Amino acid sequence: MDIRLVANGPWRFRIEQSGAMRVPGVVLAPQELLPDEPDDQALQQVANVATLPGIVRASYAMPDIHWGYGFPIGGVAATDVAHGGVISPGGVGFDISCGVRLLTAHVDRAALLPKLPVLMDRLDGLMPRGLGRGGLWHPAGRAQLHEVLRGGARYAVEQGHGVPRDLERCEDGGAVGDADVTRVGERALERGASQVGSLGSANHFLELQTVDTVYDETCARAFGLRVDLVCVMIHCGSRGLGHQIYSDHVRAMDSMMQRYGIEVPDPQLVCAPVDSPEGRAYLGAMAAAANFARANRQLLADAARSVFREATGAGLDLLYDVSHNLAKLERHIDDGAARPQLCVHRKGATRAPPGHPDLPDALRPFGQPVFVPGTMGTASYVMTGSTGNRAFDSCCHGAGRVWSRHRAHRETSARQLRQELAGAGVAVRPALWRSVIEEAPEAYKDGASGKG
């Protein structure tokens, strides 16, 4: 398939329909954030996604677009359930319901700085992180793990890990409905049982931040943000459980695609009709993994609260928690017609509605909080959803990679990175410096170029 990218307005490029594409591709990014690595196939993936049965409007890509598995990272696509729409695990990713939560501290930067070394030491000793590492909480057998998969952050709060207000500040109230633990295989349960309350590896993190600049005073006040306020950002997902669910259901769908008469240009776009047994099985298992991820972030946040109280005497309030690897059944107006049910895939993209009935009263007038993490050496951004978002009320989820992890190791070293971060006043407590090299600031796009 020949990919021809045409400028179609400010920060908007279009891939015209060709071959088996059912809709055009649309890339929402400035020129400087488009993929430019010679071997990067992200734009081809945007076109490939446009061939999925039942897809409507367009195959979208956010400013942080880069090469992923099946879908590009930063990919958004919706399929019409009533007209043969499919669900594709590649549109969710291995780390189901990976997401970000932001907590605001009852302390400003100047007051925290003298206590920062002690705070970092205590967080360093408490927070499980790294490949395969176990978690803060060990469910008492399968029955309790099933409760985590059904109840997510709600169950964690019921068990004393948080406060009821936390759930008002979580997408879906802290738990996705329709989780079906019977669709979660034994190997996935084995992998998840020891990892509840852990960050994991790669670009997952717990980061202490301060508010540097406020662009909208009224909105920031409603969000509880002000210049120099200390915040805690947590980024993690469903760990090995989500990875195993992805693998198990891809195999199940792959064996049935021919029966449904589905052909895709990339085997990584394995899919099944949403209303098929395979599609519903994946939705149920995916929801269970999403709840694992929400409980995971809730437990980590509760642990961070305890450390903050002990080290600084300050509390932490949850601003919001939102996923950026999920498929959801939603209702949207499409070209003037009300679609009764769309399956909206967001992979490396986050829900960003201008207002949503699930939002608490204090936030609804301003739109849902959207978090765009930067790198260890660059700023993160807090934004809100706005009207007129044609990409099914979706937004980018981070800075987006420009270097592969292999290239990051070729281009820099632990010593160089330590010096760079120390010069920027950034303290890092990694499980392994090798993994930190892969997340060097230079390995990512300039987040300042993609904000807005």
Q: Which of 348, 310, 312, 276 is nearest to 70 (CA)?
A: 348
Q: Which of 66, 324, 345, 397 is catalytic?
A: 397
Centre a 10 Å sphere on the Cβ of residue 403 and count the other Cβ atoms it contains: 18
How many domains does the chain fold into?
1
Cα→Cα distances 191→49, 152, 204, 239, 324, Å: 30, 17, 18, 8, 22
In the annotation, is 161 catalytic?
Answer: no
In this structure, what CATH number is given to the domain that contains residue 258?
3.90.1860.10
pLDDT value for 37: 76
Q: Strand (E) positions, 125-177? A: none
H/E run at residue 240: helix 239-254
pLDDT value for 1: 62
> Which positions of the chain have pLDDT values less than 50?
448-452
Residue pLDDT, tens place only, 44-83: 999 999 999 999 999 999 999 999 999 999 999 999 999 9
Q: 152 lies in which domain range?
A: 5-450
Q: Could you tell me if 223 and 217 are in contact, meaning their C-beta atoms sit under 8 angstroms apart? A: no
Q: Which of 362, 357, 360, 367 is nearest to 388 (CA)?
A: 367
CA count, 13 A, side-chain hemisphere, 330: 22
Residue pLDDT, tens place only, 334-367: 666 676 799 999 999 999 999 888 899 999 999 9
pLDDT value for 335: 67
H/E run at residue 155: helix 142-158
Residue pLDDT, tens place only, 120-151: 999 999 999 988 778 898 898 999 999 999 99
Q: What is the pTM of this model?
A: 0.94
